[in-house]
Amino acid sequence: MFPRTASLIALCCFASLLSAGEYNPVKNIGDKAPEWKELPGVDGKKHSLADLAAKEVIVVAFTCNTCPYAVDYEDRLNKLAAKYAAADSPVAVVSINCNLTADDSLDAMKERAEEKKFAFAYLTDASQESGKQFGATRTPEFFVLNKKREIVYMGALDDSTDTDKAKTNYVQLAIDAALQGQRPEKTETIAIGCNIRYKRSRR
């Protein structure tokens, strides 16, 4: 009995590892994206993935107000979003903040969005479930979803945290590929940033 039980446990653990990506603890490339529902945005509205059914590609960025890396990437993220800001654009850019500190509150997010003139939907998730279900661990961390809402890319926006040194925009390449019904050549990279401040579960 014991050897068989041990084998089953090992098999389950192995299967779990197979379902995760190279750098993501939960999701793999090709997995269906988790569906967020009714998340409050800085625009005073509630937002759900289903609202974007007409979009061919969706970029989901987990970010926040307080992480220096996230702040450094704000202009690059906003530039990307502005490119697809038209109502009839086939691409949507959505940003989700899962941190629960006062400086990451919805009111603080509204102030930041107004100051920086964000061109993307900036949402708060007090449950933190969207971040957990995506397997997001850093701010900023990016996911590109195709028309079938499969994850075709996850990781960093580009190849350098230094704007002047960034040469390859992985997210843009993933968008371009997804619009063509393809996967990008680079599907996963390491997201560099601050840890998302998830609440610890009581045992």
pLDDT in tens, 63-84: 999 999 999 999 999 999 999 9
Reduce the DSSP state of residue 27 to 3 states and report it.
coil
174-183 core/surface letters (b: 16 or more CB in 10 A; e: else): bbebbeeeeb
pLDDT in tens, 139-161: 999 999 999 999 999 999 999 99
Average pLDDT, the chain: 92
Asked: is 30-195 a CATH 3.40.30.10 domain? The reply is yes
Taking the domains of the chain in order of start, what are their residue ranges? Answer: 30-195
pLDDT attached to residue 20: 82
Query: What's the whole-model pTM score?
Result: 0.90
The answer to whether 60 and 96 have CB atoms below 8 angstroms apart is yes
User: Which stretches in the chain have pLDDT values below 70?
Assistant: 1-19, 202-203
The two three-digit tokens of residue 159, written as one number: 């190849």
The answer to whether 187 and 19 have CB atoms below 8 angstroms apart is no
